[in-house]
Amino acid sequence: MNKFWRNWQSRFSKRNVKPQHIDNLTDPQQITDRFGKVFVKSSFDSYADFSTVAELEAKLVDESPTSSVFSVSDIEHAL
């Protein structure tokens, strides 16, 4: 497992690459505004909105895999 994380860190942690565009936007303020709109649209009051909580739980159960496609050793071997 440690080998996996060492490889992960060496490949991804040292990158200081900033995306050129996000959702076809390049201006930082427009990107921030877009993020805010998407976040607000997808959030809800989980204490008051029981039906949305139940709907989300049902989706999570339906979409969760019953078995793992890859094992940790598969991923370590691929790296």
pLDDT at res. 34:
92
pLDDT in tens, 1-15: 688 888 888 877 766
Whether the predicted model's global pTM rises above the 0.85 cut: no
pLDDT at 36: 92
Q: Is the dihedral of CA 37, 38, 44, 50 positive or negative?
A: positive
On whether the CB atoms of residues 7 and 72 are closer than 8 A, the answer is: no
b/e code 14-28 from CB counts within 10 Å (16+ = b): eeeeeeeeeeeeeee
pLDDT digits (tens, 9 = 90+) for 18-77: 777 888 898 889 999 999 998 988 888 888 888 988 988 888 877 666 666 667 777 766
Q: What would the two tokens of residue 57 be?
A: 């739980």
